Structure 1
Amino acid sequence: MTIEITDYRPRDAALTRDLFQAAIRGTASRDYTPEQVAVWSRVDDLGPWNDNRMKSHCLVARIGDEPAGFTEIDGDAYLNMMFVDPRFAGSGVATALLQAAISLVDPTVTVTAHASLTARQFFEARGFRVVAEHHPVIRGVQLTNFSVSLAPREK
């Protein structure tokens, strides 16, 4: 199975939104309540969704013709939006996306992210350490996530 990583394009807005929702409603639903899943996965408008993807370096993973996941990393080495379609969980998509995103930033800086309860183990297994636990409130509903960081790869 070959994982192809491409740069996000505006025409990818709907498919990345769909991947985001599938990952939360599928994979993350084991760690969050139905109410938390509903507020977290809600995307009201593709315009702002696309604008946000365009602000960072967003990468889309595909297996064959199927969209499999996406992530983005900004100029400050903040990794955002790491989501994989549940159909491809455990197939190396997240690892490939992480490696591709990290390769885009200066290896002398710390990479940071906010990891969900679901993603925490993935990040820790790849060398990230938990810095803090957070309880953000989205539309009046509290969730749990973690600030994680990866030490510089070169000194």
Structure 2
Amino acid sequence: MAYSIRPYRSEDAVYLDELSRKAIRISAPRAYSQDQVAAWLQNYPDVTNFDTKLTLGGACFVAVDAEGKRLGYVLLERGGHIDRLFTNPEDERRGVAQQLLAAAEHFARPHKWERLFAEASEPARAAFERAGYHIVARRNFEIGGIPMHNWAMEKRL
């Protein structure tokens, strides 16, 4: 499958929101209970913060195929925090997440950020590990009273 990585465009927002929610609905049940998935979806932020994060010095990169279908994206905040990394469930295991993380790294280096870091969900953990991130700690928390966990991960640049 041929695809390319390009910068985010405002018209991507609705599609990326749908892609995120689809990934949570389909991929998250492999590692989280139905109650956990429902809590995550109910409290997932809407698309209104994409443009705000970008105006604060962040970046967003989108993977698209030859027909323009959005395959995934990475949303990077100033300072190196990876706020979101999602791929379309139908396009998993095709290197999309790896290329998105490489784009984030390529963006971070000239900004002299010392590291990239994220709170990776259980399904995303392997993609981060394949890209050279290591686990800092398991994070246990609650969403709406439902116990959850994810992984604090980082990569030194």
| TM-score, scaled relative to structure 1 | 0.87
Distance 2:49 2:132 in 1: 32
Q: Does 1:98 align with 2:101?
A: yes
The answer to whether the 8 Å contact 1:36/1:141 transfers is yes
Unaligned ranges ≥5, structure 2: none
Distance 1:39 1:52, change over 3 A: farther
* 2:2 corresponds to: 2
Distance 1:28 1:102, change over 3 A: same
* 1:59 corresponds to: 61
Q: CA deviation at 1:61?
A: 1.0
Q: Percent identity?
A: 29
AA paired with 2:147?
Answer: Q
Distance 1:75 1:46, change over 3 A: closer
Q: CA deviation at 1:127?
A: 1.5
Distance 1:139 1:51 in 2: 25
* 2:38 corresponds to: 38
Q: CA deviation at 1:50?
A: 5.1
Q: CA deviation at 1:7?
A: 1.6
The answer to whether the 8 Å contact 2:79/2:113 transfers is no
Tell me the SS of whatever aligns to 1:103. Answer: helix
The answer to whether the 8 Å contact 1:20/1:41 transfers is no
1:151 to 133, 137, 156: 156
Q: CA deviation at 1:11?
A: 1.5
Q: CA deviation at 1:39?
A: 1.9
Deviations 1:26-73 (A, max 9, x none): 112110111111121234754346544654211111112211001111
Distance 1:33 1:14 in 2: 26
Distance 2:54 2:33 in 1: 27
Distance 1:46 1:100 in 2: 21
AA paired with 1:100?
Answer: A
Tell me the SS of whatever aligns to 1:36. Answer: helix
Kindly report which structure 2 residues correspond to 1:1-155, keeping only aligned pairs within 5 A, or say none: 1-42=1-42, 43=44, 45-48=46-49, 51-52=52-53, 55=56, 56-64=58-66, 65-106=68-109, 109-152=114-157
Distance 2:46 2:130 in 1: 34
Unaligned ranges ≥5, structure 1: none
Distance 1:122 1:44, change over 3 A: closer
Q: CA deviation at 1:151?
A: 1.9
Cα-Cα RMSD: 2.0
| TM-score, scaled relative to structure 2 | 0.86
The answer to whether the 8 Å contact 1:3/1:96 transfers is no
